[in-house]
Structure 1
Amino acid sequence: MFSSSRLLRLQRLAVPAGKRAIHDLVTPVPSKPIISSGIPGYSAVSGHIVTVFGCTGFLGRYVVSKLGKMGTQVIIPYREEDDKRHLKLTGDLGQIVPMEWDIRNEQQIEECLRHSDIVYNLVGRDYETKNFSYSDVHAKGAQRIARIAAQAGVSRFVHVSHLNASHNSKSKFYRSKAEGEELVKEAFPNATIVRPPAMYGLEDKFLTNMAYWPMWWQVNGGQTTMRPAHVIDVAQALANLMHSTQAPGNFSLPGPVTFTLEYLLEFVQSVAYLPPSHVPYLPKPVMLAIARLAQLPWFPMVSPDELERRYINDADVEGDWDVFGITPGQIEDYALGALRRFRSADNFTRPLVIPPRTSVA
């Protein structure tokens, strides 16, 4: 038998660290109550269960990391076994739950989100394949996920589109993004639509691609304007949505500065100490013909539609960063970390040299 003093000590040990209060209880309608506990951080319990479709992509891995640091249980649907292994470390023990899925399998989609109170859809493709067109992924796939989420009683649905989504665009990619927004709204009327621009960061396909293949960015005389944003800023904005009860509507997240392609290429070459490209600016029909030939390898270097998008200026819209409590960073503050690996050994430790913004629109 335990003594009364020892029993008292055991009872005290059983009490969780940190008392729960009324502000720890959130009851989204019509979902279950959400009760947070513990000191905020990696090992806390936010009370939320979140599903992130598209978690293995560039933006998805940072969204999962941000959610995991809040003590959130995150369901990570995956297609390839090895694509999701690195996400296991982004949350505490048992908080990152992998589940296999296919965007055409409604039963698997329902299994991935049936216990979640928030669902993020980050699924996207840069190029089409024989199995998946842009519409299959950005429109029909997004509609399917939103419809199943609504039927399962999910209280929040966040859909990531693109800053340049438009039904009138010359790009099939942008048209499918606009179609996806409409279909998601029909299936889940209170959905939150987030429109980020091209994103840069470690392992990106933006600055890294400019360093590897500058010729694919030497289009339109270098006068195409872009408003890139840092991927971590966009991921933090999406993660902050978890704390709001509802945020229906469309929100644009353009970068703080508008650049021309000519300036961005000069910027990448200056930061990485790369020699300037001597490939001339070729006419658009010639570039598109080369892009069609680039489809022959198993992994296309660039698709014709992707090249077409580099002739389209980013939308001139006001940013909604304040809604998410984020101040977007400047590209000069992050570029060195993403581009230093392209420097030679002699230039690796040289200071950062940034060209003046003479080519900024």
Structure 2
Amino acid sequence: MAKLVTIFGGSGFVGRYIARRMAREGWRVRVAVRRPNEALFVRPYGAVGQVEPIFANVRDDDSVRAAIHGADVVVNCVGILSERGKNKFGMIQHHGAARVARIATEEGVTSFVQISAIGADSESNSLYAESKGKGEEAVLEAFPTAIILRPSIVFGPEDEFFNRFAKMTRTGFLLPVVGASTRFQPVYVDDVAKAAVKSVKGQVEPGIYELGGPDVKTFRELMEQMLEVIRRRRLIVNVPFWIASIMAGVLDTVQMLTGGLLHNALLTRDQVRNLRRDNVVSEGRMGLSDLGIEPVGMDAVLEDYLWPYRPSGQYSKIKESAKNLAAEDHTQA
């Protein structure tokens, strides 16, 4: 019988790519999520019955154990970018990761992969980075041979980075950014999935791997590249950190006073803290090259999914070709 992998958060942005690749490798895949009915789209990744979404909540022992029981390997992709309701950084990214790793050990799982993030640091002043760091430590304590994958910003069709800022260009002529000089090393989502699959199959040594693409660019340079792809001109405005902190504080307070009814999805104080730090692969760290993966650059992918944000959408290239033909005819005349 084919081996079984349980992927916590397997319907999320990164998780779905891992699930698809594991299915292609012939594995049976359990996609463990809080809302299985919203993850039915993963079923066609494999043959009938090969990929199945099931209920699991990383805050609950029983559901985690049920999701892991019988699995050969486990991948934990669960993570949040901002806190909301019971989903706090510490509860999800520290204690949740610890719970999954502990129960995986108890259930006799042979290998464990934790999707973390560059910047994970148990002593960070950022709650996000701190919880990621403590989660890594807890995973390695429970499962010493675990493989930790730390990607930089992940890009791809469903990303919450380029898509978010591209949407912002539809309203107004200004594009505000916080930390315009902060450096990033965006990594393609399917490269992260490749790294996870190699890890699951035991093709790499245990340890921590930092995953970054071939390009290191500042926040401003990334926005300039995005604007070029979507054929829009916008004035990129750097918001000073002190102003961003005030804005984020107001938004966080509104969320708190409304009991979370008005969720702050724009900018949090914790995100401002993170934007003060470069998000690139650390010197001397193992990375994609150590995994035998040639990273895909942004140039090869961004146009494939950002074209809907162009003024003419799918017809932009047709209009550009028509203009070029008209210019050639005028020159010949």
Q: Match of 1:292?
A: 249
Indicate if the aligned counterparts of 2:147 and 2:199 stay in contact, CA closer than 8 A: no
SS in 2 for 1:212: helix
Structure 1 unaligned spans of 5+: 1-34, 36-46, 352-361
Deviations 1:278-329 (A, max 9, x none): 6x43322221222234444346223221233222112433452133321001
Amino acid at match of 2:38: D
Indicate yes or no: 2:98 matched with 1:143. yes
Indicate if the aligned counterparts of 2:175 and 2:234 stay in contact, CA closer than 8 A: no
SS in 1 for 2:128: helix
Deviations 1:114-150 (A, max 9, x none): 1111100111000012312111111111001100000
Q: Which runs of 4+ in 1 moved over 4 A?
A: 214-217
Question: How many angstroms does 1:217 deviate by?
Answer: 5.6
Alpha-carbon separation, structure 2, partners of 1:166 and 1:117: 29
Q: Which of 256, 272, 275 pairs up with 1:307? A: 272
Q: Match of 2:13?
A: 58
Indicate yes or no: 2:299 matched with 1:344. no
Indicate yes or no: 2:134 matched with 1:179. yes
Amino acid at match of 1:213: M
Alpha-carbon separation, structure 2, partners of 1:176 and 1:249: 19
Q: Which of 317, 324, 330 pairs up with 2:291? A: 324
Indicate if the aligned counterparts of 1:216 and 1:307 stay in contact, CA closer than 8 A: no
Q: Which of 81, 92, 112 pairs up with 1:157? A: 112
Q: What RMSD over aligned residues (CA atoms) do the two structures have, in Å?
A: 2.0
Indicate if the aligned counterparts of 2:208 and 2:286 stay in contact, CA closer than 8 A: no
Amino acid at match of 2:207: G
Indicate yes or no: 2:45 matched with 1:90. yes
Question: How many angstroms does 1:268 deviate by?
Answer: 0.7
**Alignment TM-score, normalising by the size of structure 2:** 0.85
Amino acid at match of 1:287: A
Amino acid at match of 1:310: L
SS in 2 for 1:98: strand
Deviations 1:159-192 (A, max 9, x none): 1111111234332111111111111111111111
Alpha-carbon separation, structure 2, partners of 1:234 and 1:245: 15
Structure 2 unaligned spans of 5+: 256-261, 322-333
Q: Match of 2:197?
A: 239
Alpha-carbon separation, structure 2, partners of 1:206 and 1:153: 37
Indicate if the aligned counterparts of 1:199 and 1:231 stay in contact, CA closer than 8 A: yes
Q: Which of 226, 229, 239 pairs up with 1:282? A: 239
Indicate if the aligned counterparts of 1:128 and 1:134 stay in contact, CA closer than 8 A: yes
**Alignment TM-score, normalising by the size of structure 1:** 0.79
Alpha-carbon separation, structure 2, partners of 1:277 and 1:293: 25
Amino acid at match of 1:69: R
Indicate yes or no: 2:187 matched with 1:254. no
Q: Match of 1:28?
A: none
Q: Which of 188, 192, 198 pairs up with 2:153? A: 198
Alpha-carbon separation, structure 1, partners of 2:167 and 2:189: 20
Indicate if the aligned counterparts of 1:156 and 1:246 stay in contact, CA closer than 8 A: no
Alpha-carbon separation, structure 1, partners of 2:138 and 2:85: 23
Alpha-carbon separation, structure 2, partners of 1:212 and 1:277: 15
Q: Match of 1:42?
A: none
Indicate if the aligned counterparts of 1:254 and 1:319 stay in contact, CA closer than 8 A: no
Question: How many angstroms does 1:338 deviate by?
Answer: 2.1
Amino acid at match of 2:177: Q
SS in 2 for 1:348: helix
